């Protein structure tokens, strides 16, 4: 049988991994797919670099639209990234009746509804396993493996850069700036790490998982996003003393009021498996009604781990592209006419528990005033540490863990606490997730 012909747009870190893994494992992949899969055209602005990678094994062009115009190309792999030209090329490929594989989580999180609707109209597939958690097959698990389940919540460490930084802060006692510099020196962080450290990258991925888990449209604009730049080494130490570790989590949860969709640092009990995911590794925890808790762990980035997911999508499309479009796995797991209109909750309506670090004057009655404000709002204290002031010191840290409360209520209480004359610095608030 004639091999499936693939056009590759962008042959950078991931693209070169796709080309090399597909070439190296061609025989094994063909045995799984039922026919050969060949990259026959590559488009990249740096044609010299592209030629060096492909070594004359396929045609290299500078203009991506040459690939789209080739009637022999069955599948287009989009690895350009970003929202601009990548979106245009993907929609053009779909309009020409070509299937698309992409690792572009940012594009899908922001424009996924438009893209999936276009693909549905044309009867083609858009596959995106590589868009979330690199080589971990979490999209396939959510769309297919857990299809019998009512998914209750997902919590994931889905950005390796921030997890590496937090591991360095914990292991070496570094502050955030020093840990970031280490990450950049070792290649775990980009020269401009904003998308990673501010939580945007994780929010893109959480948005996609939320849509698949709950059958809602992608709604990145509704996500609450908070990064790790304000975390202090002392908070990581205090969390350890209390039996917790701090992780940047992407969380999405089904509630009676709506869907939670949020990314922020969180205290996680040290006994949880996900709390022990260190370095640049990723992990996703899924809670579902029938199977219970499942954990997916592995490399969330890198050339060949991400290529593994891209090629898995190529194999899926190769197997299914001759099937009736109505009988394929829907892009977001639920049939397009069965999508839910459940709303994403504003952060003020989310109910969770909290870690508070309050810098206070070392004098009598301070704790009583703070505890009184919490009690008046119906907020219970779960645990507390009061650091003894050193000799000659006139201020100290008061550490509180609370039971669950609505975020809007906590915001009001924090404003009241901050106004106390005995509170000497901005209060640090980190959410706490038991993940039970």
Catalytic residues: 205
3-state class (DSSP) for residue 102: strand
CA-CA-CA-CA dihedral for 128, 134, 136, 142, to nearest 10: -30
How far is the CA of 421 from the CAs of 78, 359, 360, 416, 417, in angstroms?
57, 11, 9, 11, 9
Closest residue by Cα to residue 57 from 93, 91, 26: 26
- By C-alpha distance, which of 55, 21, 22, 17 is closest to 37? 22
Residue 50's φ and ψ, nearest 5 degrees, are: -60, -45
Beta-sheet pairing, 75-78 with 126-127: unpaired
For 102, residues 6+ apart whose C-beta sits below 8 A from its C-beta are 77, 78, 79, 86, 90, 108, 126, 127, 128, 130, 131
| 186 Cβ neighbours under 8 A, 6+ residues apart | 164
Q: What gap in Å lies between CA 146 and CA 130, rounded to an integer? A: 18
Per-residue DSSP letter, 228: S
Spatial separation of the C-alpha atoms in residues 74 and 68, rounded to whole Å: 9
Q: Is 141 exposed, middle or buried (0-12, 13-18, 19+ CB in 10 A)?
A: middle
- Integer Cα distance of 355 and 351 in angstroms: 14
Q: How far is CA 290 from the centre of its chain?
A: 24
Which distant-in-sequence residues (6+ apart) come within 8 Å of 376 by Cβ? none
């Amino acid at each position: 049988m004639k091999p499936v012909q693939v056009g590759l747009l962008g042959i950078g870190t991931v693209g070169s991994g796709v080309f090399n893994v597909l070439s190296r494992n061609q025989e094994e992949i063909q045995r799984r797919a039922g026919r050969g899969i060949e990259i026959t055209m590559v488009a990249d602005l740096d044609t010299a670099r592209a030629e060096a990678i492909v070594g004359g094994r396929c045609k290299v062009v500078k203009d991506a639209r040459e690939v789209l115009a080739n009637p022999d190309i069955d599948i287009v792999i989009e690895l350009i990234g970003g929202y601009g030209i990548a979106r245009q090329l993907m929609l053009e490929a779909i309009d020409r009746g070509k299937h698309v594989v992409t690792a572009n989580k940012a594009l899908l999180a922001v424009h996924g509804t438009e893209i999936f609707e276009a693909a549905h109209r044309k009867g083609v597939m858009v596959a995106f396993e590589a868009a979330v958690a690199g080589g971990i097959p979490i999209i396939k698990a959510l769309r297919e493996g857990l299809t019998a389940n009512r998914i209750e919540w997902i919590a994931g460490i889905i950005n390796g850069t921030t997890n590496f930084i937090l591991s360095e802060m914990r292991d070496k006692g570094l502050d955030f700036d020093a840990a970031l510099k280490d990450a950049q020196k070792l290649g775990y962080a980009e020269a401009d790490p904003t998308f990673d450290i501010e939580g945007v990258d994780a929010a893109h991925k959480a948005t996609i998982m939320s849509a698949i888990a709950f059958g809602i449209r992608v709604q990145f604009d509704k996500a609450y996003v908070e990064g790790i730049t304000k975390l202090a080494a002392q908070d990581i130490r205090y969390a350890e003393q209390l039996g917790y570790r701090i992780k940047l989590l992407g969380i999405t949860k089904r509630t009676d009021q709506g869907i939670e969709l949020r990314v922020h640092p969180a205290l996680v009990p040290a006994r949880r498996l996900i709390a022990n995911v260190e370095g640049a590794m990723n992990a996703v925890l899924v809670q579902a009604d029938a199977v219970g808790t499942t954990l997916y762990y592995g490399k969330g980035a890198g050339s060949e781990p991400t290529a593994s997911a891209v090629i898995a999508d190529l194999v899926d499309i190769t197997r299914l592209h001759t099937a009736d479009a109505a009988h394929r796995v829907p892009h977001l797991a639920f049939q397009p006419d069965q999508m839910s209109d459940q709303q994403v909750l504003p952060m003020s309506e989310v109910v969770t528990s909290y870690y508070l670090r309050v810098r206070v004057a070392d004098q009598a009655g301070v704790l009583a005033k703070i505890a009184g404000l919490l009690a008046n709002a119906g907020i219970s204290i779960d645990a507390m540490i009061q650091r003894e002031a050193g000799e000659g010191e006139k201020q100290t840290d008061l550490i509180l863990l609370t039971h669950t409360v609505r975020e809007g209520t906590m915001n009001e209480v924090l404003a009241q606490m901050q106004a106390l004359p005995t509170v000497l610095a901005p209060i640090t608030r980190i959410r706490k997730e038991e993940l039970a």
